[in-house]
Amino acid sequence: MSEIISIHVGKCGNRLGHEFWAMLAAEHGIGSVNSTESQVENRGIFFSSAEDGLATVPRAVFVDFKPETKPAATAFAFRSENFIFAENSVAQNYAKGYYTEGPELIDKILKAISNEVGRCSNLQGFIMTHSLGGGVGSGLGSLIIAKLRETYPDKTITTFSVLPSVPHQTTVLEPYNAVLAIEQLSKHADLVFFLDNDKLYEIYFREFGKSNPTYQDLNHLLLHVISNVTAPLRFHREDQIMPSEQRIQEAERQFDLDLISFDEFQKAYEIVHVRSAPLTLHDMVKKLVSVSSEANSSGESLLHFLVTTLYPIISRDNKPSGYYSGNSDSSLGQRQLILSAVDVRETITMANIAIMRGPQAMYNKDYLPNTIQSSWPSGDKNSEIISIEIPAKGITLGATLIANSTVIASPLERIASNFDGMFRSKAFVQHYTGEGMEVAEMAQARSKLDVLITAYRKMEEAFRETEPEYYDGEDYEEG
């Protein structure tokens, strides 16, 4: 068993963490008397047993400066010593989280993490949920990641990082916080899944008519993405070996395949099912990042920032959006389903993983490659389709596409522009220098962001030069 420890930092990270564990408990049948073998067999990756052997406990640590974000009681137990909270404030300031207030908590945090590591037989890595706009998620989150890399250099560090939205920002310091945190993620993380608040607000307004959705509304979408992305880490993958073309033709003559059940379909086609062990975080790095690191000859940055799509887009009351067709294979690559404010017409996709979930998932796999290729212009063949029998909570059939794509440069450029708008006049810089930070550090973080953006843009140009047939923006039609 290769275990994963989750760390939830700040108000956003804690809220996501609380709901994430409730969702995982439902998907793994915790507290249910009707749990299936598929739900139970890999629980140990994300859950452990309490010392009395009776309770199932998340491998999770929660960190914040606001005790009110502490998760409430649930159907399963959290370890009380893994709640690291303080009464002081970081005032939405990265520098406070990283340099002054955060270090006062870091020893307690690392001790809780170390205790969780001791409960693992073969730790594969860490997952963090946090926001890049607030002081705790950006500053203390970055400090934790830096310490994890120092203490556990051979373990995989993955983050689900929420990007700030200027029209809906809670503090004017968000652009500074985000740029400073992205520099740390570039240095210390192995996989970063960007979750873009700008796009979440757009989705809720366009699909459900809500101009001012609540955090619970936004988090509902994020949770389904996190659930889908982690599903291959938690469940066996399902696949099938199809029979010969002759056997298929014989079955088609005997059955109206639109009317028969899936059981009859399998029997008629003599389908053989194959189950594979869950992926590891390291597997994901190899599949999604290795190709980009090899192509990035400058060596200045590792391109491990990823975008995701979510199908179906569904509200908190389980109302599907207008893009729900009941057919995930034809919808998964649609631009409207991307959870970042980007345009795939101006991109190259270096690698992707499509995750299909639900009892019918494997039957749609044959249609996906062309759909993804047409929606995500790609100069690379590094694609994989994974089927998981168990769906996300509340959905019978769903999917997520993870893409390592140059399209990620767009939100990075947006954040850089917002940073520049303030930094030119040194607006609010005193909040950072007052905590012991140098102006030069802020300038360096901004410069490193330019290096990252340039690396993505250069890769885009290189792919277009070597494989131009994969890119034709004029032929793109919005799905």
pLDDT > 70 in the chain, percent:
73
Q: Is the pLDDT of residue 269 over 70?
A: no
Tell me what pLDDT residue 112 has: 98
Q: What SS3 class is residue 358?
A: coil
Tokens 């945190």 belong to which residue? 181
Please tell me the distance from the alpha carbon of residue 464 to that of residue 458, in angstroms, as a whole number: 10
pLDDT of residue 329: 44
Is 461 within 8 Å of 379 (Cβ atoms)?
no
Predicted confidence (pLDDT) per residue in 181-224, tens digit:
999 999 999 999 999 888 888 888 887 788 888 888 889 889 99
The Cα 172–Cα 427 span in angstroms is 10
Phi, psi of 253 (to 5 degrees): -75, -25
Q: Which whole number is the average pLDDT over 86-96? A: 93
Those residues whose C-beta lies under 8 Å from the C-beta of residue 438, and which sit 6 or more positions away, are: none
Q: Is the peptide bond preceding residue 175 cis, with omega within 30 degrees of 0?
A: no
What pLDDT, on a 0 to 100 scale, did the predictor assign at position 336? 55
- Domains of the chain by range and CATH? 4-229 (3.40.50.1440)
Most confident of 65-69, 116-120, 265-269, 469-473: 116-120
SS3 state at 226: helix
pLDDT at 325: 45
The whole-chain average pLDDT of the chain stands at 82
Strand partners, 384: 353
Check residue 327 and give its pLDDT.
Answer: 44
List the single range of 11-15, 20-24, 329-333, 462-466 with lowest mean pLDDT: 329-333
User: pLDDT > 90: what percent of the chain?
Assistant: 46
Distances in Å between the Cα of 158 and the Cα atoms of 6, 178, 230, 377, 437 are: 9, 17, 11, 26, 27
H helix or E strand, kind and range, residue 239:
strand 237-241
pLDDT at 73: 54
The helix or strand, by DSSP H or E, that contains position 276, with its residue range, turns out to be: strand 272-276
Residue type present at position 262: F
For position 53, what pLDDT does the model report?
66
Section 157-162 average pLDDT: 98
- Average pLDDT for 397-402: 84
Q: Measured between alpha carbons, how far is 4 from 282 in angstroms, rounded to an integer? A: 11
Average pLDDT over residues 162-172: 88
How far apart are alpha carbons 272 and 136 in whole angstroms? 50
Encode pLDDT of 443-464 as tens digits. 999 999 999 999 888 887 877 6
Q: How many CA atoms lie within 13 A of 112 on its CB side?
A: 22
Nearest-Å Rg of the Cα atoms of the chain is 22
Which of 30-34, 137-141, 315-319 is the least confident region? Answer: 315-319
pLDDT of residue 258: 52
**pLDDT > 60? residue 241:** no
Q: Give the model's pLDDT for residue 260.
A: 53
Q: Which two tokens stand for residue 470?
A: 């994969």
**What is the per-residue pLDDT across 356-391, written as a single tens digit (0 to 9) for each?**
888 766 555 554 545 555 566 554 567 888 889 898
